[in-house]
């Protein structure tokens, strides 16, 4: 008899935890779907304006990076739905650039892999495995996707991405004075600067669009 009240009190608590987890998961999925819709719309407009299919993944990934930055700043997490959407845009970008921008498959795939490596994502992935408190898995996945996307435009622009992201993170650390710093905003800013650099100095940064 003495254990019954405790059991009765524990049940609603467990149910509340499950309900909260489901609601949180649903909210993140909803954010991902909305962000994906915005990315598709932005990609269509980008192709119409530029006349280049590479503009689609570049702009779409930018939209998704901004959403990821906002989510990371507010909750400290980047939803898998966002990083998965970026990965899908990398695949779509490879297909579009090969098929409609008339670049060779070997060159495009090589550029994408170069963007991945030059972004520093493999190194940070290793760091995440060794010391997950230093950087989040969502940060690594987002950086990987953005680095690959930049590879479609100009592989060496991925170096600009990670450099700017680190600078932004350091500024955040100084302002936060030791409090936890999220990497998402820095990645979004770094990506925007990297795309601008890739467009302005395309050939210098390894691009093929001049």
How far is 57 from 61, CA to CA, in rounded Å?
6
φ/ψ of residue 209, rounded to 5: -110, 25
Which portions of the chain are predicted below pLDDT 50?
1-2, 4-11, 15-18, 20-21
pLDDT of the residue at 17:
44
The answer to the question of residue 28 being in a domain is: no
pLDDT of the residue at 179:
73
Task: Tell which phi-psi region holds residue 118, choosing left (phi > 0), alpha (psi between -120 and 50) or beta.
Answer: alpha
Q: Chain centroid to CA 190: how far? A: 11
The answer to the question of residue 29 being in a domain is: no
The answer to the question of residue 150 being in a domain is: yes
Both structure tokens of 139 = 């940060």
How far is 206 from 150, CA to CA, in rounded Å?
11
The answer to the question of residue 107 being in a domain is: yes
The answer to the question of residue 78 being in a domain is: yes
Per 3-state DSSP, the chain is made up of helix, strand and coil in percentages (nearest 5) of 80, 0, 20
What pTM was estimated for this model as a whole? 0.84
Domain that residue 141 falls in: 36-200
The answer to the question of residue 7 being in a domain is: no
pLDDT of the residue at 24:
61
Report the number of distinct structural domains present in the chain. Answer: 1
> 152: helix, coil or strand?
helix
Q: Return the biggest CA–CA distance within the chain.
A: 81
Q: Answer yes or no: are the C-beta atoms of 140 and 125 closer than 8 Å.
A: yes
The answer to the question of residue 14 being in a domain is: no
pLDDT of the residue at 71:
92
The answer to the question of residue 147 being in a domain is: yes
């Amino acid at each position: 008899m003495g254990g019954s009240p405790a059991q009765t009190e524990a049940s609603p608590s467990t149910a509340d935890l499950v309900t909260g987890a489901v609601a949180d998961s649903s909210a993140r999925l909803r954010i991902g779907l909305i962000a994906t819709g915005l990315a598709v719309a932005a990609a269509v407009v980008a192709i119409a304006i530029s006349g280049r299919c590479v503009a689609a993944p570049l702009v779409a990934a930018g939209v998704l990076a901004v959403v990821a930055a906002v989510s990371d700043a507010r909750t400290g997490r980047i939803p898998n739905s966002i990083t998965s959407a970026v990965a899908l845009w990398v695949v779509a970008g490879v297909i579009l650039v090969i098929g409609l921008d008339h670049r060779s498959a070997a060159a495009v795939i090589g550029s994408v892999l170069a963007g991945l490596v030059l972004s520093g994502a493999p190194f940070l992935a290793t760091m995440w495995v060794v010391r997950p408190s230093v950087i989040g898995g969502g940060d690594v996945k987002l950086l990987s996707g953005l680095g690959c996307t930049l590879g479609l435009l100009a592989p060496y622009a991925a170096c600009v991405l990670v450099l700017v992201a680190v600078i932004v993170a350091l500024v955040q650390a100084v302002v936060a004075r030791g409090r936890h710093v999220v990497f998402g905003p820095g990645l979004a800013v770094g990506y925007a600067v990297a795309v601008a650099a890739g467009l302005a100095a395309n050939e210098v940064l390894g691009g093929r669009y001049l």
